[in-house]
Amino acid sequence: MTAYLNTRVSLYSGRLWQPADFEAVLAIPDAEMADALGSRGLPQLSAGFDRHQDHRSLEQRIIAELLNETTVLIRPLTGAARAFLLYWTERFEVSNVKTLLRGKMTGERPAALINRLTPMGAFGRLDVQDLAHAEDLAELLRRLEAGPYAGIVRQARRAFEEGQDPFILDAALDRGYYEGLARRAQPLENEAGASFRRLMGTLIDRINLVWMLRYRFNYNLPPAQVYYLLVASRYNLPSSRLRELAALGSAEAVLDALPEPLRGILRDAAGIADVFARMEMDGAEVAAKVLHSGAAAISRAFAYLILRERDLRSVRAILRGRHLDLPTADIRLAMFQPEASPAVASPH
């Protein structure tokens, strides 16, 4: 298992883009875009490229590539390692759950709703036809609570019922997903060692800090509610510290109260987007070090998937920027910015 996985990860690492690749694609004319993407290992994005393609189709192609590569990487895995990488893909299906719930709230027709869902292929666990045809939101929630995401959905429904706020429903689903990821990571942190723990730590700390700042100071949620919506953590920002930080009165106070090395990484950060970008860059640097080290095979595989998704999201930003006729400077700024969703991905 270890030899196969390490070999496959080493081969896949050649697909990762370098800064020069991004700059080259940013600069080329539309007529050369398909060839440029194909020559850089993304033929599925180059097929039928034009600046007016549907952004949902683009997103689905990116996710399909991530799922295809994960299929290969999990082939030799068993036990906790296989369960973890399978669960990592479920971020995309949780996004489908959110799409279904929003669609039902707005009375969207089942056929249109199904068309907006991300195809999960062999990774899919939801009966989307059945769910899309639920009579109303209450019936959809009932069906979801009888399915594979029952625990996540049940907690989210309880949070939603208190205020009927769709944002809280989304945030609670995200929290439930990442708490499940952290639980599945724990045995691997014991088996694979410090490399796997570093990958998880940078991910969960980034999610919690960005969510905290956003919920507390953009959406003005009270500290207790903010704390409830964060992921239970055992990393550099453990739950006890998160509770203290959520009670502070400004984003500046939160950043000043962070432990090292986070405080150094985020010194003089210019807003929440900058906090995300710096922590995301730090996470990418950690992943690159793990990928190119003698770490356990599962650590290297997870590091690769983190970096590959980062690359594909940046390519997506370039293509969407072209679609919107944005200046190159604006596209470059958007390449590593956070998602609009509460989830930081996913990430996904």
The answer as to whether 77 is a domain residue is no
DSSP collapsed to 3 states, 75-124: CCCCHHHHHHHHHHHHHHHHHHHHHHHHHHHCCCCHHHHHHCCCCCHHHC
The answer as to whether 269 is a domain residue is yes
- Record the tokens describing residue 68, joined without a space: 């295809």
The answer as to whether 278 is a domain residue is yes
b/e per residue, 4-19, with b = 16+ CB within 10 A? Answer: ebbebbeebbeeebee
The enclosing H or E element of 199 equals: helix 194-213
Q: What is the pLDDT of residue 56?
A: 66
The answer as to whether 125 is a domain residue is no
Residue 227's SS3 state is helix
Q: What is the pLDDT of residue 257?
A: 97
Q: What is the pLDDT of residue 341?
A: 43
With left for phi above 0 and alpha for psi between -120 and 50, is residue 118 left, alpha or beta?
A: beta
- Omega before 148 cis (within 30°)? no
Q: Could you give phi then psi for residue 29, rounded to 5 degrees?
A: -75, 160
Q: Which of 92, 81, 79 is nearest to 122 (CA)?
A: 92
Q: Could you give phi then psi for residue 128, rounded to 5 degrees?
A: -70, -30
Q: What is the dihedral of CA 222, 227, 230, 233, to 10 degrees?
A: 160
The answer as to whether 1 is a domain residue is no
Neighbours of 169 (CB within 10 A): 24
Cβ atoms of 296 and 193 closer than 8 Å = yes
Letter for the amino acid at 211? Answer: W
Q: What is the pLDDT of residue 348?
A: 33
**Distance set, CA 178 to CA 86, 182, 232 (Å):** 13, 6, 9
Determine the Cα–Cα distance for residues 69 and 72; give it in Å rounded to an integer.
5
Q: Which of 96, 129, 124 is nearest to 111 (CA)?
A: 129
- Please tell me the pTM assigned to this model: 0.92
Angle at which helices 79-105 and 150-163 pack, to 10 degrees? 40
Q: What is the pLDDT of residue 336?
A: 66
What string of pLDDT tens digits covers the 348 residues of the chain?
689 999 999 999 999 999 999 999 998 888 888 888 888 888 877 655 555 555 568 888 899 999 999 999 999 999 999 999 999 999 999 999 999 999 999 999 999 999 999 999 999 999 999 999 999 999 999 999 999 999 999 989 888 888 788 899 999 999 999 999 999 999 999 999 999 999 999 999 999 999 999 999 999 999 999 999 999 999 999 999 999 999 999 999 999 999 999 999 999 999 999 999 999 999 999 999 999 999 999 999 999 999 999 999 999 888 888 888 888 888 888 886 555 444 433 333
The answer as to whether 224 is a domain residue is yes
- Record the tokens describing residue 139, joined without a space: 């019936």
* Structural domain span for residue 241: 198-295
Structural domain count of the chain: 1
- Record the tokens describing residue 21, joined without a space: 């690749």
The answer as to whether 180 is a domain residue is no
How far, in whole angstroms, is CA 175 from its chain's centroid? Answer: 12
Q: What is the pLDDT of residue 8?
A: 96
Cβ atoms of 51 and 74 closer than 8 Å = no
Q: Which of 191, 212, 192 is nearest to 262 (CA)?
A: 212
The answer as to whether 44 is a domain residue is no
Determine the Cα–Cα distance for residues 258 and 267; give it in Å rounded to an integer.
10
Q: What is the pLDDT of residue 215?
A: 96
